[in-house]
Amino acid sequence: MITEYRKYIDPSKVYIPLTDLDHKMANVKVEIGDRVLIGDMVAEKFIGKIKSPVLSTVSGKVLEFKDMIDRYGKIVDHIIIENDRLYEKKQFKTYKPNRAKENKEDTISIGIAPAEVRNVINELGLRTVSVDGMFTELVFNSSTKYVVVNAIFINEPFISTDYEFLIEHSNEIADGVDLISRAGNSEKTIILVDKFMPEDALEELGKAIVERDIEVVTIDSKKVDARDYKVIKKLVKEQLSINLLDNGVVYTTVSAAKMVHDAVRLGIPAVTRKIAITGDALKINAVYEVRIGTRFIDLVEDLGGYNEIKNMNLHIGSFLTGIQLDNDDFAITQSVDSINVAEYRGVDEDVCIKCGDCNDICPAGILPQNIMDAELRNVNYRIVDLFTHECVECGLCTYVCPSKINVLEWVRRAKRRVG
């Protein structure tokens, strides 16, 4: 339960991983003792075949390079920068919208070419702004056709969006969505809102998108059955892949849209982000605006520390698709949107009662119970016949299982078995 809204944007040091799970380090651009500004490139990493910058999020001195656990639990090289608290920024070019009507449909002109938006997103460190689950990075290619922006979740299904953020920043969000849409030459751009969204938030968003080629689609987020996934599936009219970019879909959040607006219009690189920190292990639960590179243990201290508990369970990202870590000394990155720390309560699995709930809920339309059965019996051809590769690892089968079986894990094993 969120009890507070806080800021933690003034850490004494930042710890920035030079690479992560999916990306390879290309080269390091600074040495120990160098002074850097906010937005200075400290390293480059490969995202696919493209080099993308790793940026400093403070101004200050490079103290050291150190192997540390990252938010995926992997040991990677981090750069540690001492914050001189002057917050001096590298100057980036800014682009103003052109309010003159662009065409006869009266669409507001964004005042910047699509290729230039893609450059800004890359150069100002926004490509990797994403969250766990189906959400994609801000990566565009010639097959990009759709942009879907979620205005609902910080982390489904337990933590809902900070609606004040929507109300306060609706114009910037609408502009950011427009910019992402143009960057991807999107044929259709959708903002997903919740059926239970307060009227004032919906009204502000509605006003902000007038004259923009953006459609608002309402879904019932209280029903945990991947409604967003179903909207996207209807849109692309094909089986969805585990990475929606392969279906030509950029799926992102309103928070990322605001960051794109700030980057293009104000020249502000990705230096802070919003995250929800929750769980009964913590004295206080809060939504934070936090400087990227802040250590999680510093946030815990800011929240008054942990409650006295026996076994801690730390979970980063969505409960359905995020990851568990056994270490709380990691740094916040662009891809962290929520962290839950709770007391570990061992759950005893029961036997499968063949209720079929997991099969009924699967948004990919496959049969997780049957796949689990085939995996238990080592029947490879059956695993293939059941289209196991189409599992998008949403975790809903595990979520609904009355016997508390980790069905997703069985499906993952089956996938690995048949390659």
Residues that bind ligand SF4 (CB under 6 A): 352-358, 361-364, 366, 368-369, 391-397, 400-403, 405, 407-408, 411
CB of 401 to ligand SF4, least distance (A): 3
CB of 167 to ligand SF4, least distance (A): 33
Distance, CA of 257 to CA of 241 (rounded, Å): 23
Q: For residue 236, give every residue at least 6 positions away whose Cβ sits within 8 Å of its Cβ, in sequence order, or none.
A: 145, 146, 247, 248, 249
CB of 411 to ligand SF4, least distance (A): 5
The pairing of strands 159-160 and 153-155 is: antiparallel
Nearer to ligand SF4, 336 or 405 (CB): 405
Which H or E run includes 159? strand 159-160
User: What is the DSSP track for 189-258?
Assistant: EEEEEETT--HHHHHHHHHHHTTSS-EEEEE-TTS-S-HHHHHHHHHHTSPPPSSGGGGTEEEEEHHHHH
Nearer to ligand SF4, 182 or 415 (CB): 415
Nearer to ligand SF4, 109 or 241 (CB): 241
CA 251: distance to chain centroid?
Answer: 9
Which H or E run includes 313? strand 312-316
CB of 158 to ligand SF4, least distance (A): 18
CB of 366 to ligand SF4, least distance (A): 6
CB of 392 to ligand SF4, least distance (A): 5
In the chain, the largest separation of any two C-alpha atoms, in whole Å, equals 66
CB of 372 to ligand SF4, least distance (A): 6
Angle among Cα 393, 197, 337 to the nearest 5 degrees reads: 45
Nearer to ligand SF4, 117 or 364 (CB): 364
Nearer to ligand SF4, 15 or 251 (CB): 251
3-class SS at 100? strand
Of residues 224, 152, 249, the one with CA closest to residue 193: 152
Q: Residue holding tokens 């250590």?
A: 295
Nearer to ligand SF4, 86 or 355 (CB): 355
Nearer to ligand SF4, 273 or 415 (CB): 415
CB of 400 to ligand SF4, least distance (A): 6
CB of 239 to ligand SF4, least distance (A): 11
Buried b (16+ CB within 10 A) or exposed e, 402-415: eeebebbebbbebb
Nearer to ligand SF4, 241 or 403 (CB): 403
Please tell me the number of Cα atoms within 13 Å of 232 on its side-chain side.
32
**CA-CA-CA-CA torsion sign (399, 404, 407, 410):** positive
CB of 356 to ligand SF4, least distance (A): 5
Nearer to ligand SF4, 13 or 415 (CB): 415
Report CA-CA distances (Å) from 418 to 138, 241, 382, 410. 31, 17, 10, 13
Distance, CA of 398 to CA of 406 (rounded, Å): 5
Dihedrals phi, psi of 132, to nearest 5 degrees: -70, 165
CB of 194 to ligand SF4, least distance (A): 21
Nearer to ligand SF4, 110 or 358 (CB): 358
Nearer to ligand SF4, 190 or 391 (CB): 391
3-class SS at 385? helix
